[in-house]
């Protein structure tokens, strides 16, 4: 994806320089007053790197990156039209959720998964409600706020928003910490011993009940909190040798009860 290039009228995105924050605020203010298309074009071009950076996060969910980039630009234009220049907020902070909203809406509408119509409708209403909320508050609405606005339950909002996420194939290759590509399936941990681990945890819990108060405290401090014997000795006002002796005794007891 890093090789993905976007050219507009023969110019690469890298050729368009970002406008300094204060200058951008003044340009947005002037555009909103005059609707000068040349100013709008300058604002769009200077923020295309932002759109591209967000599109890159979703490149594996679509077949046509150009379409995804275009819907991202639509979100950028909405941000330019609605940004409140009177507030002390950076334009990019306001624009990112709107751009992501358009990208997620496109992914949802073109998803190979069949999502119930009612959930798709709610997801669309959530995106619209969030956009309206941002126009006034210049930040994204919380789940609770969206639920109150739309008069639905919190979990319905979460489910609807989750439906906008794409689906990845297990055979899909992803970056492996800069060490080349690796498929998702190989990243799924082998949990064949999961039941055995659960049983061991239960046995350990039962065995701990047979320790006296001081033995239990030392085991918890040593193996659950990671404290050293000297640290425990200072805390209990005893010698490190005493802590060592009690610890060995406790471990012997635990082994006895777990093997029984």
| Dihedral over alpha carbons 198, 202, 208, 209 (to 10 degrees) | 160
Say if CB 35 and CB 41 are below 8 A apart: no
* Dihedral of the alpha carbons of 7, 8, 13, 17, in degrees to the nearest 10: 160
Q: What 3-state class would DSSP assign to 7?
A: strand
Q: Quote the CA–CA distance of 216 and 202 in Å, as a whole number.
A: 16
6-46 pLDDT, tens digit per residue, is: 555 445 666 667 888 899 999 999 999 999 999 999 999 89
Q: How far is residue 251's CA from residue 228's CA, in Å, rounded to a whole number?
A: 16
Structural domains present in the chain: 1-107 (1.20.120.1810), 111-166 (1.10.10.10), 194-259 (1.10.10.10)
Task: Give residue-wise pLDDT tens across range 218-249.
Answer: 988 888 888 888 889 888 888 999 999 999 99
Q: How much is the pTM?
A: 0.47
- The count of other CB atoms within 10 Å of the CB of residue 244 is 14
Residue-wise pLDDT for 166-221, tens only, equals 544 444 454 444 445 555 455 555 555 555 666 677 778 888 888 898 898 898 88
State the DSSP string of 82-121. H--TTSS--HHHHHHHHHHHHHHHHHHHT-SS---HHHHH
How confident is the model at residue 15, as a pLDDT?
63
Query: What integer pLDDT is reported at residue 260 of this predicted model?
Result: 65
Q: What pLDDT sits at residue 36?
A: 94
What is the tens place of the pLDDT at every residue in 101-154?
A: 888 888 877 765 556 777 778 887 888 888 888 878 877 888 888 889 999 888
Residue with tokens 């200058």: 23
The pLDDT of residue 223 = 85
For the chain, the average pLDDT equals 79
């Amino acid at each position: 994806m890093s090789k993905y290039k976007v050219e507009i009228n023969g110019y690469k995105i890298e050729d368009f320089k970002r406008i300094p924050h204060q200058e951008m605020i003044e340009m947005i203010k002037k555009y909103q007053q005059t609707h000068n298309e040349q100013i709008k074009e300058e604002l769009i071009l200077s923020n295309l790197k932002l759109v591209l950076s967000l599109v890159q996060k979703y490149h594996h969910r679509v077949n046509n990156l150009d379409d995804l980039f275009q819907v991202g630009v639509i979100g950028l234009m909405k941000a330019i039209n609605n940004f409140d220049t009177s507030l002390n907020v950076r334009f990019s902070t306001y624009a990112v959720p709107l751009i992501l909203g358009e990208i997620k809406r496109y992914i949802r509408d073109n998803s190979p998964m069949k999502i119930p119509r009612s959930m798709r409708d709610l997801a669309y209403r959530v995106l619209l409600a969030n956009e309206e909320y941002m126009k006034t508050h210049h930040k994204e609405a919380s789940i609770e706020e969206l639920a109150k606005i739309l008069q639905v339950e919190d979990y319905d909002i979460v489910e609807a928003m989750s439906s906008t996420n794409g689906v990845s194939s297990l055979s899909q290759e992803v970056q492996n910490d800069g060490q080349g590509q690796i498929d998702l399936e190989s990243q799924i941990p082998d949990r064949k011993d999961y039941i055995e681990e659960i049983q061991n945890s239960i046995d350990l819990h039962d065995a701990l009940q047979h320790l006296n108060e001081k033995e239990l405290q030392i085991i918890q401090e040593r193996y659950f909190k990671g404290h050293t014997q000297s640290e425990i000795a200072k805390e209990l006002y005893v010698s490190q040798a005493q802590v060592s002796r009690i610890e060995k005794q406790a471990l012997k007891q635990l082994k006895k009860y777990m093997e029984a």
